[in-house]
């Protein structure tokens, strides 16, 4: 009987992460979307935008600097995050 309990416990411990991970991955696709926020700022690299982006939305947020040419050419910090 002890051998059966050991096998069942071993099976449970080995396969539980796979089942839990599968559900997590499915749920990530449902209900999570990417939001974008931008603000006019003199920037050249993403590092110049990261501090404000990360302080508002966490380190998983992605910051970058966008340049918009034209008559009123300007640079903008853009922050993308999960919402």
Please give the pLDDT value at position 2.
Answer: 53
Domain boundaries, the chain: 1-32, 33-83
Angle ∠(48,54,57) on CA atoms, nearest 5: 140
Please give the pLDDT value at position 56.
Answer: 93
How buried is residue 75: exposed, middle or buried, by Cβ count under 10 Å (0-12/13-18/19+)? middle
Please give the pLDDT value at position 30.
Answer: 53
Q: pLDDT for 28-38, tens place per residue?
A: 455 679 999 99
């Amino acid at each position: 009987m002890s051998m059966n309990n050991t096998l069942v416990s071993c099976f449970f411990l080995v396969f539980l992460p796979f089942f839990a991970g599968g559900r997590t991955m499915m749920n990530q696709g449902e209900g999570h979307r990417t939001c974008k926020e931008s603000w006019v700022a003199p920037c050249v690299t993403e590092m110049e935008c990261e501090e404000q982006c990360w302080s508002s939305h966490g380190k998983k947020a992605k910051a970058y600097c966008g340049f918009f040419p034209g008559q009123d050419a300007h640079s903008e910090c853009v922050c993308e995050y999960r919402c």
